[in-house]
Structure 1
Amino acid sequence: MPPYTIVYFPSRGRCEVMRMLLADQGQSWKEEVVTLDAWGQGTLKASCLFGQLPKFQDGDLTLYQSNAILRHLGRSFGLYGRDQQEAALVDMVNDGLEDLIQHLRQQFLHNYEEAKVQYLKELPGLLKPFETLLAQNKGGQSFIVGDQISFADYRLLDLLLNHELMYPGYLNDYPLLSAYVARLRARPKLKAFLESPEHVNRPISARLKI
């Protein structure tokens, strides 16, 4: 039995970055898929510490809160920078991505088609901090922080790939980010996962059905 279990809805949502990280690190995991109908019954929700999913199990350790899970995996696999300074930068990138994702969620929960148009207008400004950080690190030819992959890279990649589903071809306007995505996607184990039916057929959001 694999030591890791992901309990989540039938979507990428908060968990695809965890799956990408585990796959790229050569790990296996078990999925426990929770339908929206089952979640609506309330029993599982009541058993979750904060009344939320994902729930993540690493052996006998049970974790909630997706960012805590990512930080745990970052520490477990050496994906948290080479020193304290890099770790602080990784945290900063992750927090910036959290802000962007919360903004995206608030925009799209109301009127998807209308929000999709408005959000595209905002996208250059929203992506600029990540382009800046990338450019400052070896001219954009490396990772978002330092010279080794971190959990923040998986999270940024997940966000950029999800945007590609909503706005096919948008990365053509962001050559630095486009090259970054291409480099990460070429990593053999990550490439295999990203091309798998499990990833390709999994929607971004169970609720929004995108």
Structure 2
Amino acid sequence: VPPYTIVYFPARGRCEALRMLLADQGQSWKEEVVTKEAWQQGSLKASCLYGQLPKFQDGDFTLYQSNAVLRHLGRSLGLYGKDQREAALVDMVNDGVEDHRKRCGHLIHHNYISFADYNLLDLLLAHQVLVPGCLDTFPLLSAYVARLSARPKLKAFLASPEHVNRPIFGSRKI
């Protein structure tokens, strides 16, 4: 029986870094997948500290909060630096990753648009011309392209002859 158990939804979410760490370190674990229906029943949520997943079990020791689990595994598996100073640097880098994750989450979950969206949209649209169907296995990116491309003024521009007839690369006919 694996010493570790991850209780989480059928998604990468906040557990994929845990899974990658465990896999890379040659550790085995068991997954308990929580369906939307089971979560909505409320009893599991009520039993979880902070009312959220992931729940991580290391034998009879239970932790919540993905970063607490990462730090626990880092200490347990020798991935937390050689001394307190290195551990502090590891914490600093992880906190920076968390700040970035929150910013990205805000962009994904809110109707917010920045100049970076146009740059990404341009790149993805070019890929779709060069490799048709390349986003077919990426439903979130496909939805992103569809959502931005449907903005009325942008939709009109993308359909205009000026845009349609302009080559993707100046030196090529594509």
Which residue does the alignment assign to 2:28? 28
The structural deviation recorded for 1:63 is 0.4
CA distance in 1, matches of 2:82, 2:58: 24
User: Counterpart of 1:43 in structure 2: which amino acid?
Assistant: S
What's the CA shift string for 1:25-74, capped at 9, x where partnerless? 11100000011222122111001011010000000000001111000000
Q: TM-score, normalised by structure 2?
A: 0.64
Q: Percent identity?
A: 71
Which residue does the alignment assign to 1:69? 69
User: Counterpart of 1:87 in structure 2: which amino acid?
Assistant: A
**1:119/1:42 CA distance change after superposition, 3 Å:** farther
Higher Cα radius of gyration: 2
Which residue does the alignment assign to 1:13? 13
User: Counterpart of 2:83 in structure 1: which amino acid?
Assistant: D
The structural deviation recorded for 1:84 is 1.4
User: Over aligned residue pairs, what C-alpha RMSD do you find?
Assistant: 2.7
Which residue does the alignment assign to 2:79? 79
Tell me which of the two structures has the higher relative contact order, counting C-alpha pairs closer than 8 angstroms and 6 or more residues apart: 1
Assess if the C-alpha contact under 8 Å between 1:107 and 1:119 holds in 2.
Answer: no
Question: Number of paired residues?
Answer: 125
**1:84/1:108 CA distance change after superposition, 3 Å:** same
User: Counterpart of 2:12 in structure 1: which amino acid?
Assistant: R
CA distance in 1, matches of 2:17, 2:47: 24
The answer to whether 1:57 aligns with 2:43 is: no
The structural deviation recorded for 1:24 is 0.8
Q: How does 1:41-52 map to 2 (within 5 A)?
A: 41-52=41-52
Which residue does the alignment assign to 1:89? 89
Tell me, which stretches of 5 or more residues in structure 2 are unaligned? 125-136, 141-174
Which residue does the alignment assign to 1:106? 106
CA distance in 1, matches of 2:72, 2:118: 35
**1:64/1:122 CA distance change after superposition, 3 Å:** farther
The answer to whether 1:37 aligns with 2:53 is: no
User: Counterpart of 2:37 in structure 1: which amino acid?
Assistant: D
Tell me, which stretches of 5 or more residues in structure 1 are unaligned? 124-166, 168-200, 205-210
CA distance in 1, matches of 2:76, 2:28: 15
**1:82/1:45 CA distance change after superposition, 3 Å:** same
The structural deviation recorded for 1:120 is 5.0
Q: TM-score, normalised by structure 1?
A: 0.54
